[in-house]
């Protein structure tokens, strides 16, 4: 049934005889293909319900309106979850780094984008990076990662203590103006477009889950990558660069950065554990040690002493 609908979608767009090549996907149900027709290549996004491509379409057009390089939407069937997108190429940051491309200029380009993005208020249509959202994501860490480590669900006082600790942290992570968060802002979702200049040379992918929230989140996502090691000295330089250009208070921003980095590490560890346990995607477990290292680094901030102690007592983790 879905194959028939996809064939009809391609036929409606004059691509019935085009060659199709699968591309690497992500942790979701979405899949991607490169479609090579008579003129130029396109990217097919196939996102079966309950995936919702509407947010991708709306956010892509918002990013383009702001002068950034998101893929142009060339055709859409939002009810069935089919999109034809502009093909921005294969020069993912992660792939370029593997081939020996210097890291610092590309990371600086990405940070310059975040600095520029923060100059304009986020669109009001974006969902909020709310306290309830953070609570729900933090619970996933308990329900999958910690439960798997302990061999039983976390309940009673340990769970209540964990929740209370986060209630004290939530207001302290919101430093500076609210910005547009792309959320999955890392080396496998960023492209270098060598035929463009300035910020337009940064190609943007996988932003359909964008929110509006605290500025430090996407910087954490970039510099505390789950999929590759980022040079610590360069990462420190990028934080200073962000602070210099935005004028945010350094102590407050670093506190927010540590809290958001901790939240993100716990969230990803929970998600990767769920993918392994529920969907059998065990390859994601290989990335958990890197997230444990990021977690330990963030927990070194004094504001997170209570959470660090909880993690040490409950699962024996959190010490750098």
Show the tokens assigned to 296: 């330990």
Q: Is 8 exposed, middle or buried (0-12, 13-18, 19+ CB in 10 A)?
A: middle
Mean pLDDT, residues 295-311? 97
- In the numeric block, which tokens belong to residue 125? 């249509």
195 SS3 class: coil
Residue written as token pair 């009809």: 8
- Whole-number pLDDT of residue 320: 59
The confidence band for 187, taking pLDDT boundaries of 50, 70 and 90, is very high
2-86: which CATH architecture? 2-Layer Sandwich (3.30)
Token pair in block for residue 263: 């939240």
- Exposure class string for 222-233: b at 16+ Cβ within 10 A, else e: bbbbbeeebeee
Q: How many CA atoms lie within 13 A of 102 on its CB side?
A: 5
What local confidence, expressed as pLDDT, does residue 140 receive?
Answer: 94
CA dist., res. 126 & res. 9, Å (int)? 29
Q: What pLDDT score does 317 carry?
A: 78
Domain boundaries, the chain: 2-86, 93-315
pTM of the model as a whole: 0.93
Confidence bin at 209 (pLDDT 50/70/90): very high
Given this model, what pLDDT does residue 166 score? 97
Q: Residue 215 carries which DSSP code?
A: T
- What is the pLDDT of the chain when averaged over all its residues? 94
Percent of the chain with pLDDT over 90: 88
In tens, the pLDDT along 66-85 reads 999 999 999 999 999 999 99
For residues 151-168, give the mean pLDDT.
94
* pLDDT digit string, tens, across residues 119-135: 999 999 999 999 999 99
Domain 93-315 has CATH 3.90.1200.10: yes
């Amino acid at each position: 049934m879905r194959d028939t609908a996809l064939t009809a979608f391609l036929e409606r767009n004059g691509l019935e005889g085009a060659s199709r090549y699968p591309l690497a996907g992500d942790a979701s149900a979405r899949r991607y293909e490169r479609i090579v027709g008579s003129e130029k290549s396109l990217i097919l996004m196939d996102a079966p319900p309950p995936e919702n491509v509407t947010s991708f379409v709306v956010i892509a057009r918002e990013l383009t309106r702001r002068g950034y390089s998101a893929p142009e939407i060339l055709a859409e069937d939002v009810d069935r979850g089919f999109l034809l997108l502009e093909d921005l190429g294969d020069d993912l940051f992660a792939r370029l780094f593997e081939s020996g491309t210097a890291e610092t200029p590309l990371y600086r380009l990405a940070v310059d984008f975040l600095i520029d993005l923060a100059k304009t208020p986020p669109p009001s249509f974006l969902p909020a990076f709310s306290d309830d959202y953070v609570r729900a994501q933090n619970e996933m860490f308990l329900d999958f990662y910690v439960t798997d480590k302990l061999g039983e669900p976390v309940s009673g006082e340990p769970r209540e203590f964990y929740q209370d600790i986060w209630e004290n942290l939530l207001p302290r992570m919101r430093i500076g103006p609210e910005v547009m968060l792309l959320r999955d802002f890392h080396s496998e979702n960023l492209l270098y477009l060598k035929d463009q200049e300035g910020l337009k040379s940064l190609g943007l992918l996988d932003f359909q889950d964008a929110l509006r929230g605290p500025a430090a989140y996407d910087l954490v996502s970039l510099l505390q990558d789950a999929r590759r090691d980022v040079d610590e000295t360069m990462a420190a330089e990028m934080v200073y660069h962000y602070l210099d250009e935005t004028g945010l208070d350094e102590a407050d921003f670093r506190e927010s950065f540590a809290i958001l980095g901790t939240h993100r590490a716990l969230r990803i560890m929970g998600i990767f554990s769920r993918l392994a346990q529920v969907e059998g995607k065990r390859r994601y477990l290989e990335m958990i040690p890197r997230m444990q290292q990021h977690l330990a680094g963030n927990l070194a901030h004094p504001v997170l002493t209570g959470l660090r102690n909880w993690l040490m007592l409950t699962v024996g983790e959190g010490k750098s």
